[in-house]
Homo-oligomer: A and B are copies of this chain.
Amino acid sequence: MSLIVMKFGGTSVGDIDRIKNAAAKVAAELHRGNKVAVVVSAMAGSTDQLISYCRSISARYDQREHDAVVSTGEQVSSGLMALALQQRGLNARSWQGWQVGMHTDATHGKARILNIEAKDLRESLDRGEVGVVAGFQGISDEGRITTLGRGGSDTSAVALAVALKADRCDIYTDVDGVYTTDPRICDRARKMKRVSYEEMLELASLGAKVLQVRSVEMAMRFRMPVQVLSTFANEIGSDLPGTLVAEGNEKMEENPVTGIAHTRDEAQITLTGIADKPGIAAKIFVPLAHAGINVDMIVQTASSNGVTDLSFTVGKTDFDRAIKVLTDEKPSIAYKELLSHKNVTKISLVGIGMRNHVGVAATMFETLAAKGINILVIETSEINTSVLIDDEYTELALRSLHTAYGLDTPEA
């Protein structure tokens, strides 16, 4: 008998029929002889509605009250899921964050989980009951309700799996697994049977939205196997029908690239004609850091006559503030021009195999050049190689690279 944590996202519990459908998935897992704890998100749309209530009272609202209001979305779906399970004849009950002992710090709105008691829940599971835990929420030392931030229910689920020493955490969502690239863009994208924690962390950080980055970090730290699979597809005849995020990857020698992620969330800023001398980077990036703006993909062109251009990306949501900071700092930085480019996409190759392969980046540059795609910025790390390109080439680049790295071939 295994203990499985099953997490259902907002679209998976988006209405009463979908909650019933998710309950059927839970029943199937129980019939396989497993114990099950369920973690639920809020019904799709309800969190946005609750946030908009808070915003319409005050733009700068108290995060503690925001958490009290917004956490009700998961409370509702936990109760409804328990009812749907009971309706199938199962012994089920709901657990709120404070009832299950989901202790977090007091950083309301994006709290971090400190520890989970789960003693009562564990006893309940041992009695054969199904526990339905409200995701996304916890309780602070002061006894106030906290929330974990956007997508926090994935993290709730993995943390609960760790606390319960579960055998696996299954994340049910609206896609049936992790793909080699976005299947809406590349129809030859292939569902991976297995991906390593390290690769999944890179893919999630670089734009694959299937799992929240924090949940992957936590799974990796505690070596908790996580399966991504669909609430809606009818998977029959396979023990692990989705994508398993787990230790290592037996085929790490075979292919240098495991998957290709992309994100349109960044914008490029270039400062031209700056002096190529020590201290200039600090004059640019310290004011941005003070403004809480994260900078990514920094590249500096070769110096000519002691003058150079410096290019970097920031999140699109920080773009306007970054422009203001840099305009204010113009006398100090002494740049010639500020150029900006919002219609850019960052495309990232991810693969543990990159560590042992040479020429991975070269293939990327050749492939993009052959299609006439200009590379704006290049960035590499141990297991990823990323380029910034003009947004309108996104689909063409993804498809070309998918083929170039041999990802079109069906997985053996």
Contact = CB atoms under 8 A, between A and B. Distances in A.
Contacts of A53: 16, 76, 80
Contact of A83 (B54, B72, B96, B99): B54
Contact of A58 (B71, B86, B99): B86
Nearest to A19: B57
Interface residues of A, number: 37
B87 A58 contact: yes
Which of A16, A19, A57, A93 is the most central at the interface, judged by chain B CB atoms within 10 Å of its CB? A57
Interface in A58-85: 58, 61-62, 64-66, 68-69, 71-72, 75-76, 78-80, 82-84
B99 A79 contact: no
A94 B79 contact: no
Contacts of A64: 93
A53 B145 CA distance: 24
B79 A69 contact: yes
Ranked 3 nearest A-B pairs via Cβ: A69-B79, A72-B72, A68-B79
A393 interface: no
A238 interface: no
B93 A65 contact: yes
Contacts of A84: 57-58
Contacts of A50: 76
A62 B76 contact: no
A180 to B, nearest CB: 39
